[in-house]
Amino acid sequence: MYAITGITGHVGGAAARALLAAGEQVRAVVRDPAQGESWRRAGAAEVAVADLTDPAALATALAGCRGAFVLLPTIATGTDADHRRLADTIAAGVAGSGVLHVVALSSYGADLPDGTGPVRWLHHLENGLRGTGAVVTAIRSPHFQEKAGDVLPAVLAEGVYPVFGESADVPVPMAATRDVGAAVAASLADPPLASEVVDLDAPQYTERQVAEALAGLLGRHVEVAVLPRPAWTDALLGAGLPPELAAELVALYDATGRGLLVPRGDRAHRCTTPIETTLRDLVAAPLPAGRP
């Protein structure tokens, strides 16, 4: 049996569905018992209730499983200390559970201790998990294709696709969360003998290509607007983001522009879902974009 935290999100849900489709048993770890009912109906063998801030409850939720998937949620108004504390709590829960293999959602750039915005917290999480005694598989993903949903309101309301960078014509890898979840499931089902870092090798697109694909799906012109660096914070605050999160995203965009978020793992896992598939899903039923 495999314990899946974050199962109500994109990656955790995709991982659980992939495991269930392969005939594996899944324990859905949720914060609210009501959230577990849909997974019980979907075939989850068990539902465990635990909050990631409670290491004892998390340890109980993971105990007895062959492997577990964990991720570090972003706290919208959280400080650096808040996120590091949460990462430590997750690691403590893993250590207390006795689970032998844990797969963690991470990111390109998590090998660096700082200078990467919120990715630095994943560096902290990875290192904390490696001290638990479990074999750790860190799945390092590039940007999610679903991040296009963050700017979808501006596209729908104003026909404008904002770009936070120096150019809209630089190709970068973008992974669909369904592929990320599939990589998690594959790693759980076939655990390594020693801890490893798996880089997701995803299709590359420019922001202009994403905007053009959106325009085709929507049947309307979409203007690409490259925002100058001084305008990033105000644009994010104007979109309703808390100041803490806006500052972290600006640091993330800076790190991307400086080329810090690159694969440096032990092996690669190929992702194949094209951006058009993900955008079609976003346009048909907009989801809380960016949620892992």
Domain boundaries, the chain: 2-284
* CATH placement of domain 2-284: 3.40.50.720
* Alpha carbon distance 113, 198 (integer Å): 18
Please report the sign of the dihedral spanned by the C-alpha atoms of residue 54, residue 59, residue 60, residue 62.
positive
Contacts of 81 (CB under 8 A, 6+ apart): none
Q: Strands 196-201 and 67-70: what pairing?
A: unpaired
Query: According to the model, what pLDDT value does residue 127 have?
Result: 98
Spatial CA neighbour of 126 closest among 104, 157, 146: 104
Query: According to the model, what pLDDT value does residue 23 have?
Result: 95
Cβ proximity of 99 and 67 under 8 Å: yes
Q: How distant, in Å, are the alpha carbons of 53, 208, 209 from that of 172?
A: 34, 11, 11
Residue 23's Cβ-count burial label (10 Å; 0-12, 13-18, 19+) is exposed
Q: How distant, in Å, are the alpha carbons of 14, 110, 214, 224, 281 from that of 176?
A: 10, 19, 16, 22, 11
Query: According to the model, what pLDDT value does residue 178 have?
Result: 97
Mean pLDDT for back-to-back runs of 10 residues, the chain (292 residues): 96 96 96 88 89 97 98 96 98 98 98 97 98 98 95 93 95 97 98 98 98 96 96 94 96 95 97 97 68 55
Query: According to the model, what pLDDT value does residue 292 have?
Result: 64
Distance of CA 32 to the CA centre of its chain: 21
Which residues are paired to 175 by β-bridges? 144
Query: According to the model, what pLDDT value does residue 34 have?
Result: 87
Tokens at 202, concatenated: 């995803």
Query: According to the model, what pLDDT value does residue 54 have?
Result: 97
Query: According to the model, what pLDDT value does residue 289 have?
Result: 46
